[in-house]
Amino acid sequence: MKGSLKADEMVGLYRTMCRIRAFETKVQELFAANLIPGFVHLSIGEEAVAAGISSVLKPDDYITSTHRGHGHVLAKGADPRRMMAELFGKRTGYCKGKGGSMHIADFSVGVLGANGVVAGGFPIAVGAGLSCKLRGTDQVVVCYFGDGASNRGPVHEAMNMASIWKLPILFACENNQYASTTAMSYSTSVGRIALRAPGYSMPGVTVDGNDVLAVREAAQQAVARARAGQGPTLLEALTYRWRGHFEGDPQRYRTKEEVEEAKEKDPILRLAATLRKKKLLSRELEERIQREIQEEIEGAVRFAQESPYPEPEEALEDLYAGDVAQAAKGGLS
């Protein structure tokens, strides 16, 4: 299986992971420099999950994302310039500055939205899956979520509904072992989230989430199953969050050593090593990839910085699609 991956696909996975890493490393810097308002949650170290999964999706497939969603969104094909502009709160951002880091969406590439509410994407994913089924398309939906999210009620309702209706959904758990300050081993009544799948008569698979090839392979099976009308799959990818829960997190709940140890399992270095062994990643290619990415990210930052802030009154736009927009503006509000 892994062997059957084409060379350019493998390099593509590498490039995707590097783009996510570069984007978020830049965000980290910009946030520290007070250039990004609000709160930022980074997925550095977890890039293999989004990269592996998105590599088997089509442009019109859907994803629902989380508060830690830059990677999901980038991997699904969103434009880093409009993402960065959104993080800056600029009018050229995906949400015209109304959303920020926790609320990025790009409906044109199937991103149904990040979400500020943990597990908020589950019911939406079920609805999107039901919609695919009712419209008779072969689209699939990926519902990203964390280990912490797995204990919220909507997860249960969504998995049950997806199963009884055989909806084309991949429930993708990024198990990074913590939910904010809380270790999964404390909060969760089962050692592996995937062990809950039998309760919904769906396949439950746990993979090494730092091995992008393993993630991709498992996702491929799940997506094939979904497209074939056989229903949802629960895929759990074991990984680790390198940064704090949010930028600025004092992280008293874990040791530096634990973090350093986890960093040794860097999914990017790991794939790089594999590629080099297979002679797929020459020094020149690698330099070119990094250079292109740096240019792209710097371009995104430039775009964001040069874009204007929205005018205050724009806060009253985009509430309603229908003709009440006027009424709402004219009203007391």
Partner 1 sequence: MSLRELTNTEAMAEALKEEMSLDPSVFIVGEDLVAHGGIFGQFRGLPEAFPGRVIDTPISETCIAGAGLGAALTGMRPFVDLHFADFVTTAMDEIANQAAKIRYMFGGQVKVPMVIWAPDGAGLSAAAHHSQSLEAWFVHTPGLKVVSPCLPYDVKGLIKTAIRDDDPVVFFMHKKIFGHRGPVPEEEYLIPLGQADLKREGSDLAIITYSIMLLHAMEAAQELASEGVNAEVLDLRSLWPLDWEAIAKSVSKTHRVVVAHEACITGGMGAEIAARIQEELLDELDAPVVRVGARRVPHPFSPPLERFVIPGPHSVLEAARKVLEKQF
Ligand X SMILES: Cc1ncc(C[n+]2csc(CCOP(=O)(O)OP(=O)(O)O)c2C)c(N)n1
* Chain contacts with ligand X (rule: CB under 6 A): 67-68, 116-118, 146-149, 174, 176, 178-180, 241, 245
Shortest distance (Å) from residue 85 CB to Mg ion: 28
Q: Which of 63, 70, 216, 238 is nearest to 147 (CA)?
A: 238
Q: Which of 114, 155, 213, 223 binds a copy of itself (CB under 8 A)?
A: 155
Q: Which residues are CB-neighbours of 308 under 8 A, at least 6 positions away?
A: 90, 91, 92
Under rule CB under 8 A, residue 294 binds a copy of itself: no
Stretch that binds a copy of itself, among 146-154, 211-219, 262-270, 277-285 (CB under 8 A): 146-154
Give the E-state strand segments of the chain in sequence order. Answer: 62-64, 141-146, 169-175, 178-179, 182-183, 204-208, 233-238
3-state DSSP assignment of residue 296: helix
User: 66 vs 92, which CB is nearer to ligand X?
Assistant: 66
What distance in Å separates the CA atoms of residue 84 and residue 47, rounded to the nearest whole number?
A: 18
229 binds, among Mg ion, a copy of itself, partner 1, none (CB under 5 to 8 A by kind): none
User: 2 vs 320, which CB is nearer to partner 1?
Assistant: 320
163 binds, among Mg ion, a copy of itself, partner 1, none (CB under 5 to 8 A by kind): a copy of itself
Burial (CB count within 10 angstroms: exposed 0-12, middle 13-18, buried 19+), residue 309: exposed
Under rule CB under 8 A, residue 62 binds a copy of itself: no
Query: Is the Cβ–Cβ distance between 154 and 121 less than 8 Å?
Result: no
Lay out the site mask for a copy of itself across 195-234 (x = CB under 8 A, - = otherwise): xx-xxxxx--------------------------------
What distance in Å separates the CA atoms of residue 16 and residue 216, rounded to the nearest whole number?
A: 13
71 binds, among Mg ion, partner 1, a copy of itself, none (CB under 5 to 8 A by kind): none
Q: Which of 122, 113, 139, 111 is nearest to 200 (CA)?
A: 122
Under rule CB under 8 A, residue 117 binds a copy of itself: no
Shortest distance (Å) from residue 181 CB to Mg ion: 11
Q: Which of 127, 182, 126 is nearest to 149 (CA)?
A: 182
Binding stretches for a copy of itself (CB under 8 A): 151-157, 159-160, 163-164, 186-191, 195-196, 198-202
